[in-house]
Amino acid sequence: GAGVSQSPRYKVAKRGQDVALRCDPISGHVSLFWYQQALGQGPEFLTYFQNEAQLDKSGLPSDRFFAERPEGSVSTLKIQRTQQEDSAVYLCASSLGWGQGSTNEKLFFGSGTQLSVL
Amino acid sequence: GESVGLHLPTLSVQEGDNSIINCAYSNSASDYFIWYKQESGKGPQFIIDIRSNMDKRQGQRVTVLLNKTVKHLSLQIAATQPGDSAVYFCAVLQGGPGTYKYIFGTGTRLKVLA
């Protein structure tokens, strides 16, 4: 597609419910990132994929958070047993490049999924 | 690790004036930087980028300046327009063995006064 697509746009979950957020990156982009953005804050890194390999998951806040990108394109961020503190906008981003030194490191974001946990 | 900060949380400018938004970073090895614009309810939008082998880069009405000595970069917007009202973030690429991520500052909200 023309840009990074995320769905759903909004998600309301009851505390304890599991949710799954989807990201369709720009076609051909090697790198895919998930970020969490709290209200009034900058995006915080969650995890990074290079093709299907999850190379960095150091930002995932707990083992309730799980991300996958099985075929190196679409990615899903899953949050189990949601808590109120999980309420935030979840942003997906992709880039053609795959690391320092590559020449295509421009990072493009989707519109995000706004998650509200009641 | 990298930390990124901004000097002002909110900047108000008159329409037609120039705007300057600042950003400080901590890792002297950082070599790639991006400025993003985020409007309410939208994802961050790429504005302009710069590598550490450059001091200045210009786009359409925007200029990014990089001072590696003091680890500071700025975004200059010429002839600020109402459509420029948004939150602006700088992002710094942090790479290394097993990691490749962008670290974001908290953002500066630009308000354009008519």
User: Tens of pLDDT along B81-104?
Assistant: 999 999 999 999 887 766 788 999
Q: Do B104 and A44 touch (CB under 8 A)?
A: yes
Report the residue from B36, B95, B105 with minimal CB separation from A99: B95
3-state secondary structure of B47: strand
Q: Which tokens is A15 given?
A: 């505390």
Location of structure tokens 């308000």: B111
Q: Could you tell me which chain A residue has the CA closest to the CA of B48?
A: A106
pLDDT per position as a tens digit, A41-68: 999 999 999 999 999 999 999 999 999 9
The residue among A41 and A12 whose pLDDT is bigger is A12
Q: Do B100 and A44 touch (CB under 8 A)?
A: no
A53-56 long-range CB contacts below 8 Å, 24 or more apart?
A: A55/B98, A55/B99, A55/B100, A56/B98, A56/B99, A56/B100, A56/B101
3-state secondary structure of B94: strand
Asked whether the predicted pLDDT for residue B105 surpasses 90, the reply is no
